[in-house]
Structure 1
Amino acid sequence: MRQTKTGILIANLGTPDAPTPQAVKRYLRQFLSDTRVVDTPRLLWWPLLRGVILPLRAPRVAKLYQSIWMEGGSPLMVYSRQQEQALAVRLPDTPVALGMSYGSPSLESAVEELLAQGVDHIVVLPLYPQYSCSTVAAVWNELARILATKRRIPGISFIRDYADNRDYIAALASSARASFATHGEPDLLLLSYHGIPQRYADEGDDYPQRCRDTTRELVSALGISHDKVMMTFQSRFGREPWLTPYTDETLKMLAEKGVKHIQVMCPGFAADCLETLEEIAVQNRELFLDAGGEKYEYIPALNAAPEHIEMMVNLTQPYLSFSE
């Protein structure tokens, strides 16, 4: 009986290499060309993407990235590298590699890195707590494309999601309690998840249910009343209907109705990024305060918090001892 050597591939969406229009355009072109993300027929979509969306959107998005850029890269890259390094420290006998669906380091480079270390079984952990065809399935598709070129492929264990995982919920609850202790308990805790087109859910994507699962378990763990928690969806793009209620419209409505103190958590993001640090922590804060709200705090993503790394260890541990 031969003992296999197992490695871990942690995956996330990706980020531009620099906060410049050229780098952002390159990144967005790859991201928005994936049919798992935008399934509009290519004959219609590509001329619109390349002729209108990228030239207009890239400079605007680059300015937003400039406002949050960190030493070492974008926040998503900095925190993802911290996660990779912390997981490797906790599992010193297990190779760990980071791969992004778009941009660098690519999923292909992560697979090659693991194979070069003699790995013959890969545990793939997409850091999307709630499954969606636009995120987790995109990792699956790219992994299949990479391995289709190999004569000898490794064994694969693929962690679909962890929306109601006990350690994940406990880490979220700990983060929320820490915010309450610092800023006081809010009138409302808003849980803002990244949106997807409503059509994707109608066609079978169970993402909305997995978001509800996370919300239910977190409310239970916090022991707070259901009427003090609300679930919304952010970052919509394009003209077709997306999952509702929308985060921005909800914040404006709540402020106008007299809600004074809100704290916002984004449980669908394993690492802080443009959508949390700029859209939620800046744009939506201004929206709420301008509409009459008085206190607004963003609760950071779990990033490389010890409880988050412990969750990753516990999620992958059952797959690390294989023999054949």
Structure 2
Amino acid sequence: MKKLAVVLLNLGGPDSPEAVRPFLFNLFRDKSILRVPALIRWPLAAFIAKKRAPVAAKIYALIGGRSPLVPNTEIQARALEIALGDAQTQARCFIAMRYWHPFSIEAAQQVQEWGADEIVLLPLYPQWSTTTTSSSLRVWNEACATIGLKTPARIVCCYPTEAGFIQAEVAKIRTALNAARSYGPPRLLFSAHGLPERIVKSGDPYQWQCEQTAKAIVAALDMPGLDWVNCYQSRVGRMKWIGPSTDDELHRAGADKVPVVVAPIAFVSEHSETLVEIEIEYRHLAEEVGVPYFARVDTVGADAAFIGGLASLVRGARVASTQVTSERGGRICPPNFAGCCQR
């Protein structure tokens, strides 16, 4: 029986109050995030982490002092193992977080000790970005080189409109929209983590892929006249970020006096951006600006349709003729996106 290791890639999060500052340091020292020379990046990352740690610690204190991302991912991993089980393959999922434990080096060591015959790298970022999936893959490769793990790996690069993912999103969003209708025709905000505009202009396909996710959900919802918009959250610093911002859209909804449903389409597990930024901070902002009704849609988590979609992606990667596959096998990004991994 073949041993299949599926490595789930994600950002990670602090597992205690003491981990907040080193987590932030790891985040900001990533050359995919702070795109400056290493001699500047490391001290700058240390400065930013020290400055932001007290604020971030207060945020995590609101959800128990730690990120729920790893426990949620463990649940997804076990569900995916069950979905992948068959008579010919023993599937086991491993977790490789980018900025806090379990790191890629830890996951790679576990895969090596288990004796995997093949590996599929599966990002829990549905939309490809040079700041997320690309960064995680780079560190995975470095970890494998460090410990001498030579087992060949297939890569799922992205799945912004994968059927199971869309089905899971649609079911949750439809329920939220139906609840909002008693307050008037609702506005659906597809909120995703933002990026600096210069990164997108350099050829990163993330924003385009987020837009494809939203369009696929709207088509599947099949609600004629639905009021919806793509927007972006978590903006930091002084540089220009892609928009419109979720903050601005909430102000617009308040001025229009329409109920709002916020769907976090770039996150597949709950963490501080969903449980604090959306659920607490945006809910408070919505009340302040006069939004008559506010609802946050849960992330897809271990929804059966989503897990089934991930299993299909893994199976497709295993039989593909290329090392890197998308939800449709080949490249899905238009040719002008130089940041696409299938360039």
How does the TM-score come out when normalised to structure 2? 0.86
**Whole-Å separation in 2 of the counterparts to 1:55 and 1:139:** 24
Q: Give the letter aligned to residue 100 of structure 1.
A: M
Aligned counterpart, 2:270: 272
Aligned counterpart, 2:302: 304
> Are the aligned partners of 1:6 and 1:321 in contact in 2 as well (CA < 8 Å)?
no
Aligned counterpart, 1:56: 51
Cα displacement string for residues 74-114 of structure 1 (whole angstroms, at most 9, x for unaligned residues)? 22122111111111232342121111011111112112212
Report SS of the residue matched to 1:122.
strand
Alignment of 1:74-153 (within 5 A): 74-92=67-85, 93-151=90-148, 153=150
Cα displacement string for residues 22-70 of structure 1 (whole angstroms, at most 9, x for unaligned residues)? 310011111110001111233444333323x222211111111011128
Alignment of 1:199-218 (within 5 A): 199-218=198-217
Q: Give the letter aligned to residue 216 of structure 1.
A: K
Report SS of the residue matched to 2:111.
helix
> Are the aligned partners of 1:219 and 1:226 in contact in 2 as well (CA < 8 Å)?
no
> Are the aligned partners of 1:272 and 1:301 in contact in 2 as well (CA < 8 Å)?
yes
Report SS of the residue matched to 1:103.
coil
Aligned counterpart, 2:314: 316
CA shift at 1:152, angstroms?
5.2
Report SS of the residue matched to 1:40.
coil
Q: Give the letter aligned to residue 86 of structure 1.
A: A
Aligned length: 315
Aligned counterpart, 1:24: 20
> Are the aligned partners of 1:130 and 1:161 in contact in 2 as well (CA < 8 Å)?
yes
Give the gaps of 5 or more residues in structure 2. 321-343
Q: Give the letter aligned to residue 57 of structure 1.
A: R
Q: Give the letter aligned to residue 38 of structure 2.
A: R
Q: 1:67 aligns with which of 62, 67, 73?
A: 62
Report SS of the residue matched to 2:146.
coil
Cα displacement string for residues 124-162 of structure 1 (whole angstroms, at most 9, x for unaligned residues)? 001001100000001111112112235451111110010
Q: Give the letter aligned to residue 178 of structure 1.
A: T
> Are the aligned partners of 1:6 and 1:122 in contact in 2 as well (CA < 8 Å)?
yes
Identity rate, percent: 29
> Are the aligned partners of 2:109 and 2:147 in contact in 1 as well (CA < 8 Å)?
no
> Are the aligned partners of 2:80 and 2:307 in contact in 1 as well (CA < 8 Å)?
yes
Q: Give the letter aligned to residue 132 of structure 1.
A: S
**Whole-Å separation in 1 of the counterparts to 2:175 and 2:186:** 16
Cα displacement string for residues 275-315 of structure 1 (whole angstroms, at most 9, x for unaligned residues)? 11100111011111111111100001011122221111111
Q: Give the letter aligned to residue 109 of structure 1.
A: E
**Whole-Å separation in 1 of the counterparts to 2:57 and 2:156:** 33
Aligned counterpart, 2:186: 187
Give the gaps of 5 or more residues in structure 1. none
Which range moves more in the overlay, 123-132 or 244-253?
244-253
Report SS of the residue matched to 2:10.
strand
Report SS of the residue matched to 1:264.
strand
Q: Give the letter aligned to residue 115 of structure 2.
A: G
Q: Does 1:10 align with 2:8?
A: yes
**Whole-Å separation in 1 of the counterparts to 2:91 and 2:97:** 20
Cα displacement string for residues 231-290 of structure 1 (whole angstroms, at most 9, x for unaligned residues)? 10110121111111011122112212322x101001100101101110011101111111
Alignment of 1:237-248 (within 5 A): 237-248=236-247
Cα displacement string for residues 188-229 of structure 1 (whole angstroms, at most 9, x for unaligned residues)? 011001111110111110111101111111110001246511
Q: Using a 3 Å threshold, how does the CA distance of structure 1 residues 126 and 253 change in structure 2: closer, same or farther?
A: same
**Whole-Å separation in 2 of the counterparts to 1:103 and 1:33:** 13
> Are the aligned partners of 1:219 and 1:225 in contact in 2 as well (CA < 8 Å)?
no
**Whole-Å separation in 1 of the counterparts to 2:149 and 2:74:** 29
Give the aligned CA root-mean-square deviation in angstroms: 2.0
